[in-house]
Amino acid sequence: MKKSSFVILPLIIGAFLLYLFYGDDYQVVEETDAAEHLTVDRYTAELQNSPEIQGYKRFTDEEEKTIVVLSLGSDNQGKGIDVAGVVNDEEGTVITVEFTEEETGKDNPYIIISLDSVTDPLFVQTEGGLFFEEIE
């Protein structure tokens, strides 16, 4: 039994270290979790009252992570959206999103993305190459 712990323990530690170094440096924030960040929660409510708003807006949370809220605007009413990937290097940060078949039922679909780190400039684009403007 002791010999197996000498094999299993290093495997567990190795897997954990791989996750730390190669894990995603972003998370998609669920709507229910957005309520914890009052400014983001208010902004997402504003998006539904102003469906013409299209683009992304940055926020900073209490852990100094960057929160990006991307809204698709009323032209994309009801569409789903997901993160296809995030690239963060010395030249900047690029968030690539994809449209999904999921029906959101929202007048102005949006996604909330939490980034561990951002290098300016920040770009948000679709897989098809459509770039979204930053909303001040």
Q: Specify if 11 maps to a domain.
A: no
Instruction: Specify the pLDDT at position 103.
Output: 81
Burial 97-109 (b: 16+ CB within 10 A, else e): bebeeeebebebb
**pLDDT digit string, tens, across residues 2-13:** 555 555 656 566
Q: Could you list the residue range(s) of the whole structural domain that residue 104 is in?
A: 25-132
Tokens 């951002």 belong to 118
Q: Specify if 15 maps to a domain.
A: no
Query: The whole model's pTM is what?
Result: 0.80
3-class DSSP state of 31 = helix
Q: Specify if 8 maps to a domain.
A: no
Q: Specify if 4 maps to a domain.
A: no
Instruction: Specify the pLDDT at position 20.
Output: 46
Instruction: Specify the pLDDT at position 9.
Output: 56
Q: How many domains does the chain have?
A: 1
3-class DSSP state of 27 = strand
Instruction: Specify the pLDDT at position 129.
Output: 92
Instruction: Specify the pLDDT at position 19.
Output: 46
Q: Specify if 56 maps to a domain.
A: yes
CB-based contacts of 64, cutoff 8 Å, min separation 6: none
Name the stretches of the chain with pLDDT < 50: 1, 17-22
